[in-house]
Amino acid sequence: MDSTFRQIPPVVLQALKADLLDGDRVALGRAITLIESKRADDRKQAGLLIDAILPKTGSSIRIGITGVPGAGKSSFIEVFGTMLTASGKRVAVLSIDPASSKSKGSILGDKTRMETLSKNELAYIRPSSSGTIPGGVASHTREAILLCEAAGYDVIIVETVGVGQSETVVKEMVDYFLLLMLAGGGDELQGIKRGIMEMADHILINKADGANPEAAKRAAKAYRNAVHLFPAHEAGWTVPVATCSALEKTGIKSVWSEIEAFRQLTAGGWFEQNRRLQRIQWFHALVRSALELNFFGKANIQEAISEKEALISARKISVRKAVQELFES
Amino acid sequence: MDSTFRQIPPVVLQALKADLLDGDRVALGRAITLIESKRADDRKQAGLLIDAILPKTGSSIRIGITGVPGAGKSSFIEVFGTMLTASGKRVAVLSIDPASSKSKGSILGDKTRMETLSKNELAYIRPSSSGTIPGGVASHTREAILLCEAAGYDVIIVETVGVGQSETVVKEMVDYFLLLMLAGGGDELQGIKRGIMEMADHILINKADGANPEAAKRAAKAYRNAVHLFPAHEAGWTVPVATCSALEKTGIKSVWSEIEAFRQLTAGGWFEQNRRLQRIQWFHALVRSALELNFFGKANIQEAISEKEALISARKISVRKAVQELFES
């Protein structure tokens, strides 16, 4: 943790806020580092900062992107993000990886993954934060979204990193959820959790290039038929299923058109309602998380739980009794 | 609550246990009523009973059944259950309805819904329990499963009642999850949550009778294609998609053959592992539920949370600050 942010005095916080609202990237980076800090004094400062910038948040479109391993998420974001910046939009890319630790060098990793975008002045790429608090990573990313919005970013992309862990978490913090797939026999789906496909607001078959366009079209058709079998989208949105190639830069523009159509369809209704609901859910999740941290954080509770788990696993004790004993002790 | 079970003395509990293990239906009914009781003394007795019968549990196959409204769940269970009893199997039918209250007459409702099965000596039908504790209904049904197993039931069917509330809950307590659908344009899917379809271990298009068999076959084909697009089942199971008619009693036998095949495929591996995992998840859910009940049950906390929710909704306070303030007060 950067020591600059320890016991940051109010006057510096004011400056940080001002620089952030000016769209200063260094200030944005510092602000995100501050909200990720676990130090009590930093957390207090982070709270003040977030509350101060709150009126300046909410104006972006928040896009979640997930995909099966090998679907080419990074290349897609590189091309998609570059296209958006070309039309003057400011684009922030955040990532969630519950398993990651910043010290493992994911900053360098991310810069390499999206080489063009990372050099683009209108783009901001922030690697995933490490987090040990349950719900902590997600909460940090939600706050990072707010900071990016305050810094004037128009499009916030939140991508899942790693496999099968964070799709639901991302879904709950974005307006629009894009699923990147590949044409193929189905084996490549190992990496995504069951239930994710139905959550997508948009399905995109990438790598429709080289010898693949026909296979990608066939896959798109199959997914399109499947989507009709799913329960309807709450917003009355028809989930688009299309092909694209990040390599050949085809099918990328229409992704943005669809997102604009979605925003228009849901404006003044589902869009705001969904964000309100997401804030309330976030609040509840954090309250539960704080409550559990307090309880499960105690060494004797952890020990008692492990003991009970072993007994329950071996069917030597009922779940009811295990819970009773846990709360009696 | 039946007053017979208040302060039930140990000697009576012994008798209840003995009768239950003998397969006595009245004893089974009493035992389920006892575990559903919220009285402190009953809960203690319930704990003793559950622990006492624990070694006699686990030998059934637990089948979850859900379906879109109008899919004919009751008629299906009636015919499916009757077929199983005809081959000498003892069948218990439990239902979960988070919104129900027993006093609303669902007992009568259930008896009427499955008229033949409810008169069958090898079948036991128990209406859904009411529950106000978060996770309470689910926990009662899980314990009712154990009691039915101790009473010698070979097949336990847990059905969802009502719409869109309890599918995930049921999925987490069964070995096999059956989804009943209809042939149709998709509008009938309103009642099920997104994500449910991918959780199914078996998809069955009911009402393949009268003028419908062709439409049902087409629907089955479409679902079969869709299933191939989903992430693979953890157990390596290929999800069957078939048609049936509860009315004409066709396609019912093969449902059981598939379940037997599933059991065989997963025996000594996924099956036991899944049950162990479900028990641990149940334990964690109950611990969290007890913890939250304790916290959220306080009047001043409830009030503070409602206040914070209003502020968060109106974007007047950050989620972080709301949580901080909640735990400071």
Q: Where are the beta strands (DSSP E) in chain B?
A: 61-67, 91-96, 123-126, 155-160, 176-181, 202-205, 241-243
What DSSP designation does B250 have? B
| DSSP-H helix ranges across B151-237 | 167-171, 213-229
Asked if A118 and A110 count as a contact pair (C-beta separation under 8 A), the reply is yes
Q: Where are the beta strands (DSSP E) in B161-248?
A: 176-181, 202-205, 241-243
d(CA B225, CA B129): 38
What are the per-10-residue average pLDDT scores of chain A (329 residues)? 56 92 96 90 90 95 92 94 98 80 45 84 83 66 96 96 77 96 71 81 95 92 87 91 96 98 97 96 91 88 94 93 88
**Which chain B residues in 256-275 lie under 8 Å from chain A, judged by CB atoms?**
none
Round the average pLDDT of chain B to a whole number and report it: 87
**How far A47 CA sits from the closest chain B CA (Å)?**
6
Nearest neighbour of A279 by CB, restricted to B276, B286, B313: B313
Nearest CA in chain B to A136: B320
Assess whether pLDDT exceeds 60 at residue B101.
no
Asked if A135 and A289 count as a contact pair (C-beta separation under 8 A), the reply is yes
Q: What is the CA radius of gyration of chain A?
A: 22
Chain B contact set for A186 (CB, 8 A): 228-229, 232
Nearest neighbour of A279 by CB, restricted to B192, B229, B312: B312
- What is the predicted pLDDT for the residue at A225? 87
pLDDT, tens digit (0-9, with 9 covering 90-100), for B9-31 = 777 899 999 999 999 999 999 99
- Other beta carbons less than 10 A from residue A113's beta carbon: 21
What DSSP designation does B5 have? G
- Least confident piece of the model among A92-96, A248-252, B62-66, B109-113: B109-113
- What is the predicted pLDDT for the residue at B307? 95
CB contact under 8 A, A50 and B318: yes
Nearest neighbour of B283 by CB, restricted to A139, A228, A319: A319
φ, ψ of residue A158 to 5 degrees: the values are -110, 115
Pairing, β A202-205 against β B241-243: unpaired
Predicted TM-score (pTM) of this structure:
0.84
Residue B133: pLDDT band (50, 70, 90) is low
Nearest neighbour of A315 by CB, restricted to B58, B291, B320: B58
pLDDT, tens digit (0-9, with 9 covering 90-100), for B302-313 = 999 999 999 999
Chain B contact set for A187 (CB, 8 A): 232
Angle value at C-alpha B239, between B238 and B245, nearest 5 degrees = 140
CB contact under 8 A, B231 and A193: yes
Asked if A263 and A202 count as a contact pair (C-beta separation under 8 A), the reply is no
d(CA B17, CA B24): 10
Name which residue leads in pLDDT, B296 or A102: B296
What DSSP designation does B177 have? E
Per DSSP, the three-state class of B92 is strand
Nearest CA in chain B to A181: B229
Residue B54 is encoded by which pair of tokens? Answer: 């624990």
**Which chain A residues in 172-191 lie under 8 Å from chain B, judged by CB atoms?**
186-187, 189-190
Top-ranked range on mean pLDDT: pick from B61-70, B153-162, B255-264? B255-264
Handedness of CA B101, B104, B110, B111 (dihedral sign): positive
Using the structure block, give the residue that is written with the tokens 């996770």: B135
CB contact under 8 A, B287 and A223: no
φ, ψ of residue B253 to 5 degrees: the values are -60, -40
Per DSSP, the three-state class of A178 is strand
Entry field: residues in chain B: 329
Asked if A29 and A54 count as a contact pair (C-beta separation under 8 A), the reply is no
Chain B contact set for A287 (CB, 8 A): 305, 323, 326
- What is the predicted pLDDT for the residue at B129? 61
pLDDT, tens digit (0-9, with 9 covering 90-100), for B245-294 = 999 999 999 999 999 999 999 999 999 999 999 999 999 989 988 898 88
d(CA A270, CA A141): 22
Q: What is the DSSP string of A201-268?
A: SEEEE----TT-HHHHHHHHHHHHHHHHHSPPPTT-PPPPEEE-BTTTTBS-HHHHHHHHHHHHHHTT
ipTM score? 0.83
Q: What is the CA radius of gyration of chain B?
A: 22
d(CA A315, CA A304): 16
φ, ψ of residue A67 to 5 degrees: the values are -175, 160
